[in-house]
Chain A
Amino acid sequence: MLRKEVNDLLTQTDPGTTMGEMFRQYWIPALLARELPEDDCPPVRVKLLGERLIAFRDSKGRYGLMDEFCAHRGVSLWFGRNEEGGLRCPYHGWKYDVNGQCIEVPSEPEESGFCEKIKLKAYPLIKVGDVLWTHMGDKENRPPEPEWEFATVPEDQTYTSKRWQECNWLQAMEGGIDSSHVSFLHSGGLKSDPLFKGAKGNQYNANDKKPVFEVTESDGGLFIGARRMAEEGHYYWRITPWVMPSFTMVPPRGDHPVHGHFWVPIDDYNCWAWSFDYHPTRPLTPEELQAMKDGYGVHNKYESEDSFRPLQNKDNDYLMDRAAQKSGESYSGIWGIAMQDASLQESMGPVVDRTRENLVSTDNGIIMARHRLRKAAIALRDKGVQPPGRTTEHQMVRSAAKVLPDDQPFKDAMAEDLTVRPGVKQTSV
């Protein structure tokens, strides 16, 4: 249960809100690099943290992200002409560079310098891995560039997708922390999904449906450990890291690529679910890549190529299949791991009313994450303290799965496994 004020504080991210300011302290994913595939390609509308923006790539390959609307009379620059080093409004020809600076106002004498007085709000847009990242906060407090492992391994070892999720970011992210739903909701997927099936760990998962949870804090967020019975005197551990504000990773299975998510607010009723899959030491196989593109694992199928809206969505009741639900082929009747989560999270309503929930002890990962987010957001608001999760060091985490003797605490025994070690394979069962 959360009091209404706290729920509002955590879920609202428009400019000027407490949580909105917190999100503005980080580099967050804004677009897939393939959305701006070449110089002078069409501009793309982006809405982030309740702000309408336009992204483009100019003639020299520089990326820009700025206020969507022309400073002259408010036309959307989505209609703009991307040419000769800037984005030109098609209405009266005003032209802007990647910094939002107006560089041409055709009606005014060039010598007047009028255009220098016109500047749209702009944010940096940088490419790291498959992703274009932005930092929407003050320049003076810009954190170091993102160094998440999925974005820094060689290109052929990683794949990222994104999907539009029609609900608040927090209930989506909480799904990434809540590992106790996996044995139920995804029980079908563990057996059949090409990016999940076949791992030895899956048997432990299936054999022990009542895991014991251990939640411990890390510098950047949390480690949520789930422990199940393994062979005599041993436990099978699965550790999910969460790094503030909204990065989660799924513990690996066998030699499958490792996956995880970024949950980014679009506005209070919508978010981007970013999903990545990478292998720390080898290229993804053609079969794996194809499975990802086909919507298996944490990815999904799309309604249309560039809508980023899932094929299964609220307008078609997520293609609910009651027969598959009844037979147990799919626990909820929804196809695909990603959409099993998304359908349920959207069903909670745009912003779930947490005053009516009844959490239990096994929800402690979620309870702790909310607690830390709230404290960090308030410390930033009231005392200007920079929140955790901004530094490279905090981002150097991995998920891991391992069988340990029953007297060993995971935090010590798996310290290395939970840290990025370039060139070393993920720890997995």
Chain B
Amino acid sequence: MPHDSDDIFEADNATRRDRGPVDHPTMLSSCSRAATAEEARYRVQYPNSMTRSSRIFALDEAAAEAMYGITEEPWNDAHFLTLAARGKVSPDTRPEDLPLSRPDGAAASLLDEIEGADVVVLLASDGTSEGAAEVIARECFERRIMCAGLALGQGRSDAAVATVVNSMRRFARVLVVAQDDDFIPAMLTALRA
């Protein structure tokens, strides 16, 4: 039947009128029954997903500060990491040389951390971390890991935020600019981190 023209409707209207509702008998599996509130309680209650592994990288001091506020919450399989050494990281840094640390101060390795990760989230509050973002994003790209960037705008000017965004734009498949740090836990919860 031609679907991009009116014919289907002209024809269908006519037949619908002629044949009446019998044309569309309501069966047990019809939308009219299946989509009711009553039927909603028969939804299969088994889990429909397995635990996700998320890796959250705070790329600068203020981002780390904002991240530390939430690392204690009960997450599923989220690892929170920061750059151990402050200051600029060259984009040519080898992944094994990127200095990372966990919230308790222990050292961590980028390659170990992103092995088997489902999603990587980069947190940044200034534009100084482009090099580190590139090193992490490159490894994600090679492993086909989804990489999202979250630019933190709380208390910062539009221009400052623009530099952050620019520093992550090339690497993130999704880039979010959040005016408040409380979006970090909201986003991680939504993503089942």
Residues of B within 8 A of A370 (CB): 186, 190
Residues of A within 8 A of B48 (CB): 356, 358
Contact B174 A367 (CB under 8 A): no
Residue of B nearest to A358 (CB): B49
CB distance from B45 to the nearest CB of A (A): 9
Residues of A within 8 A of B178 (CB): 217, 368
Report Cα–Cα, A369/B120, bound state, in Å. Answer: 21
Contact B9 A212 (CB under 8 A): no
> Given A311-B9, A317-B31, A349-B37, A367–B190 Cβ distance below 8 Å?
yes
> Given A317-B31, A318-B31, A188–B3 Cβ distance below 8 Å?
yes
Report Cα–Cα, A125/B4, bound state, in Å. Answer: 39
Within 8 A of A (CB), among B151-193: 153, 162, 165-166, 169, 172-180, 182-183, 186-187, 189-192
Residues of B within 8 A of A411 (CB): 162, 177
Among B22-30, B62-70, B83-91, B99-107, the one that faces the other chain is B22-30
Residue B111 is within 8 A (CB to CB) of chain A in the complex: no
Among A72-80, A198-206, A244-252, A321-329, the one that faces the other chain is A321-329
* A359: contacting residue among B3, B31, B166, B190, CB under 8 A: B190
> Given A217-B177, A364-B174, A317–B183 Cβ distance below 8 Å?
no
Within 8 A of A (CB), among B103-156: 119, 121, 146, 148, 153
Looking at chain A's contact residues, is the secondary structure mostly helix, strand, loop, or mixed?
mixed
Give the size of the chain B interface in residues (CB under 8 angstroms): 51
Contact A212 B4 (CB under 8 A): no
Contact B119 A358 (CB under 8 A): no
Residue B14 is within 8 A (CB to CB) of chain A in the complex: no
Residue A335 is within 8 A (CB to CB) of chain B in the complex: yes
Report Cα–Cα, A89/B180, bound state, in Å. Answer: 53
Contact B169 A409 (CB under 8 A): yes
* A364: contacting residue among B6, B8, B148, CB under 8 A: B148
> Given A212-B173, A335-B8, A409–B31 Cβ distance below 8 Å?
no
Q: Known A-B contacts: A347-B35, A358-B192, A361-B121. Give 5 more (CB < 8 A).
A: A214-B176, A324-B3, A346-B35, A364-B176, A411-B162
